[in-house]
Structure 1
Amino acid sequence: MADILLSPTNFWFSVALIAVFFVFILELISVFFGVSMLGLNDDIGDIDSNGFLSSAFANFLNLNKVPFLIWLVIFLTLFGLAGLIINGLTPVQLPQLLSITLAIAIGILITRKCAVFIAALLPSSETSAINNDDFIGAVAEITIGRASRGNPAEAKFTDSFSQPHFVLVEPFEKEELFAQGERVILVQKSEYSWLATRYQ
């Protein structure tokens, strides 16, 4: 086995498998310290066409399906194994460039499929963050102060994720007044506060 791995024709395939082994060891060490390397560069699939990978090519590789390090480990493993199998099964020794090219092609094609399968197994994360546009139409209750135009008061509302938000509100109509405990509807963001109308 050592003779096969150390053979000059299998040099790059052996390097790939050794790299996977070292990543495995580093991951074990990092997990021991409470962190994980597997999420590093997990947004590489979103690189635009001005980067070293176009978004279309990244999508083809399914780089956006799983964290990049997971994708890379899968590819290196398949590349290394495919190269060893190609060199082991062919009756004549193939040129190294040809065997590497075949191993890359096989590795990429199988890695694409594996990425989809692994993505289905990974837990998906759903963010509870919302932006200012999502505040429009929210029903808030005046909690502190009395709101008039130019004199905002604090109000509170709860979003669809059951997260409370505290905002400063003032009436949309200049003559309107909002007392503590009243409910209002947020309609427009101003520079420092939200303009609101009374909740009927």
Structure 2
Amino acid sequence: MTDVLLSPANFWFSIALIAVFFVFILELISTVFGVSLVGLGDDFAEVDGEGFLNTSLANWLNINKVPFLIFLIVLLTFFGLSGLIINGVTVSLFNVSLPASASVPLALIVALLVTARAASIISRFLPSVESSAVNSDDFIGSVAEITIGRASRGNPAEAKFTDHYSQPHFVLVEPFEEEELFAQGERVILVKKNQHSWLATRYQ
């Protein structure tokens, strides 16, 4: 098995699977310290105010239905597995692996098709998660509860709130005031949206 993963023909596919493994380890470690990585990357594709998450391609891929990091992990996983399977089949049938110039694009196409379907299925089991596709102005004034971590200015923590459609959302929040701290379990009011988090004030 190690020989297969380390072979030059499977280099990019092995890299993809190794990346998934390291993200999994980082998530475990960060959870121990009261932080979650799941919300990271949701603003990754924003360009000049027009997010990639709003495009027809993104809608077809179902990127806007799950957190970006989850979508990326699923994509890398299927890319790696598809590439290994493709090379395994060609070696079994023709005793030779496809060149990377052929196997990588083919595995990527397969991975995108499968990931689009998988994201749609995964989204049914996840609460609605705020992303660039959501009109964040609608959330100003919402009351959220700190669920993971301790928030300070420049160090956001994860918080959860429910919108007027009774759909839960998870966001990263930090205090509006420089010296304020929010502990896990505290309730805050969302005041202003930054690029990657919300500024909030303490709920009285």
The alignment's TM-score, normalised by the length of structure 1, stands at: 0.58
Question: Given residue 15 of structure 2, which amino acid in structure 1 is its aligned partner?
Answer: V
Aligned residues: 133
User: 1:46–1:56: structure 2 CA closer, same or farther, 3 Å change rule?
Assistant: farther
1:104 aligns with 2:108: yes
Per-residue CA shift, 1:11-65, capped at 9, x if unaligned? 0000000000000000000110111101112245776796677722221221101
1:93 aligns with 2:93: no
Deviation at 1:114, TM superposition (A): 0.6
1:34 aligns to what SS in structure 2?
A: coil
In structure 2, distance between residues paired with 1:125 and 1:94: 39
Q: CA RMSD in A?
A: 2.9
Question: Given residue 60 of structure 2, which amino acid in structure 1 is its aligned partner?
Answer: F
Seq. identity, %: 58
* Runs of 4+ with >4 A deviation: 43-54, 125-131
Alignment of 1:21-170 (within 5 A): 21-44=21-44, 55-90=55-90, 91=94, 92-124=96-128, 129=139
Per-residue CA shift, 1:138-169, capped at 9, x if unaligned? xxxxxxxxxxxxxxxxxxxxxx89xxxxxxxx
Q: Is the 8 A contact 1:75 1:107 kept in 2?
A: yes
User: 1:60–1:48: structure 2 CA closer, same or farther, 3 Å change rule?
Assistant: farther
Does 31-40 or 47-56 show the bigger shift?
47-56
1:121 aligns to what SS in structure 2?
A: coil
In structure 1, distance between residues paired with 2:139 and 2:52: 30
User: 1:130–1:15: structure 2 CA closer, same or farther, 3 Å change rule?
Assistant: closer
User: 1:11–1:66: structure 2 CA closer, same or farther, 3 Å change rule?
Assistant: same
In structure 2, distance between residues paired with 1:26 and 1:56: 32
Give unmatched runs, 5+ long, in structure 1. 132-159, 162-200
Q: Is the 8 A contact 2:45 2:51 kept in 1?
A: no
In structure 2, distance between residues paired with 1:99 and 1:125: 34
In structure 2, distance between residues paired with 1:86 and 1:17: 15
Q: Is the 8 A contact 1:83 1:100 kept in 2?
A: yes
User: 1:130–1:16: structure 2 CA closer, same or farther, 3 Å change rule?
Assistant: closer
- Pick 1 or 2: higher relative contact order, CA cutoff 8 A, min separation 6: 2
User: 1:36–1:93: structure 2 CA closer, same or farther, 3 Å change rule?
Assistant: same
Q: Is the 8 A contact 1:66 1:119 kept in 2?
A: yes
Q: Is the 8 A contact 2:53 2:63 kept in 1?
A: no
